[in-house]
Copies of this chain bind each other. A is one copy, B any other.
Amino acid sequence: MAKDILIGIDIGGTTVKNAIIDVKGTMIAKWEIETKIQNQGASVPTDIWESIKIRLNELKIGKDRIIGMGVGAPGFIEPDTGIVAIAVNIGWENFHLKAVLEDLSGIPVYVDNDANIAALGENWKGSGNQVDNMLAVTLGTGVGGGIISNGQIVSGANGTGAEIGHMTVVTENGAPCNCGRKGCLETVASATGIVRQAMERIEKGDSPSLQQRMNQQGMITTKDIFELANEGDQAAIEIIHNVMDCLGLALANIAVTINPAKIVIGGGVSKAGEQLLGPLKKAFVKYALPRINEACDIVIAKLANDAGVYGGAYLVLQHTNSN
């Protein structure tokens, strides 16, 4: 039987998402398993392959139909060797993910960074529309990025391509970042960064509405901030304006570097939809060379949690087609 099946795997710090997808991009099955981070994540590859074997068996799909497995993993990856240099959330260091999974399965395995893989997925089956040049931005706990240029993932010299959350955007008195530096884009435009700015407003005592939400719920989320801005709260409006101005500047500067046809915004914060896109596009136009803006659509991601597994499957397809 001809090979027609792709396996997409998206490894996160809490769960691993797996999917069986055919070459045309039809989702045959998807499921999650727990990421066991005990013993520096040593059992993760076995857990993945065992769960895939069971599912293939249930679906009566023989191993001979599988073209390959494409894996997105968090951290810094060397795509050529499939070695995960560092994945802090899992405990991997110089972990030979590709080699281990190939030994277990006997199937070709391709590995890249999870944000890059998600970009590939959005471009294949989501909002990207299969353009040759695109940027995917994830606004979640942090700010992630994936870039496709000339149809290829930009992994860079040591797997640190598209780490746009660590662009320096505040040069004086920037907030501390997880990377140990200050003023990174992530400190401003991530959910964490947005909430921090709201907390600062509350501490200053200049937003009774934010204070009230805080008192009611014991916490503030980005959803609250967008809601209050929608209701006309000045502090919330200013926070969103500042965040989108800063993000628009960063995206305009990335865009004049890689000249994308699409910028796809995903992650939890992107659920704000038009309320986010409106001010973001305005800032982008303000800071971007007109010809860059002419070429570029900014859109919300479509695939949510499935972007990674679609991207993994597409990575296999890309490697197969280029051979």
Pair A149/B154 contact, Cβ less than 8 Å:
yes
Question: Which residue of chain B is the closest to A184 with respect to CB atoms?
Answer: B289
Interface residues of A in 245-276 (CB under 8 A from B): 249-250, 252-254, 256-261
Q: Please, which residues of chain B bring their CB within 8 A of the CB of A163?
A: 256, 259, 289, 292
**Given A160-B292, A289-B160, A289-B179, A256:B167 Cβ within 8 A:** yes
Question: Which residue of chain B is the closest to A85 with respect to CB atoms?
Answer: B291
Pair B258/A154 contact, Cβ less than 8 Å:
yes
Cβ of A150 within 8 Å of any chain B Cβ, yes or no, is yes
Cβ of A46 within 8 Å of any chain B Cβ, yes or no, is no
Specify how many copies of this chain sit in the oligomer. 2
Pair A252/B168 contact, Cβ less than 8 Å:
yes
Pair B179/A295 contact, Cβ less than 8 Å:
no
Which single member of B147, B249, B259 contacts A157 (CB below 8 Å)?
Answer: B259
Q: Please, which residues of chain B bring their CB within 8 A of the CB of A253?
A: 167-168, 250, 253
Which of A145, A166, A250, A258 has the most CB atoms of chain B within a 10 A radius of its CB?
A258
State in angstroms the CA–CA spacing of A161 and B296 once bound together.
12
Q: Please, which residues of chain B bring their CB within 8 A of the CB of A260?
A: 156-157
Interface residues of A in 159-185 (CB under 8 A from B): 159-164, 166-168, 171, 179-181
Question: Which residue of chain B is the closest to A254 with respect to CB atoms?
Answer: B257
Pair A157/B296 contact, Cβ less than 8 Å:
yes
Which single member of B147, B159, B291 contacts A257 (CB below 8 Å)?
Answer: B147
Which of A152, A155, A163, A256 has the most CB atoms of chain B within a 10 A radius of its CB?
A256
**A interface residues, how many (CB within 8 angstroms):** 46
Cβ of A287 within 8 Å of any chain B Cβ, yes or no, is yes
Q: Please, which residues of chain B bring their CB within 8 A of the CB of A254?
A: 257
Pair B156/A259 contact, Cβ less than 8 Å:
yes
Which of A166, A180, A261 has the most CB atoms of chain B within a 10 A radius of its CB?
A166
Question: Which residue of chain B is the closest to A76 with respect to CB atoms?
Answer: B291
Q: Please, which residues of chain B bring their CB within 8 A of the CB of A287?
A: 168, 171
Cβ of A133 within 8 Å of any chain B Cβ, yes or no, is yes
Question: Which residue of chain B is the closest to A289 with respect to CB atoms?
Answer: B166
Cβ of A131 within 8 Å of any chain B Cβ, yes or no, is yes
Q: Please, which residues of chain B bring their CB within 8 A of the CB of A161?
A: 133, 149, 257-259
Give A50-67 as 1s and 0s: 1 = Cβ < 8 Å from B's Cβ atoms: 000000000000000000
Least CB distance from A289 to B in Å reads 4
Least CB distance from A86 to B in Å reads 9
**Given A157-B131, A252-B168, A150:B147 Cβ within 8 A:** no
Least CB distance from A122 to B in Å reads 16
User: What would 4 more interface pairs be, CB under 8 Å, given A133-B157, A163-B256?
Assistant: A150-B155, A157-B260, A160-B295, A168-B287
- Closest 6 A/B residue pairs (Cβ): A156-B259, A157-B261, A161-B259, A157-B295, A158-B295, A166-B289
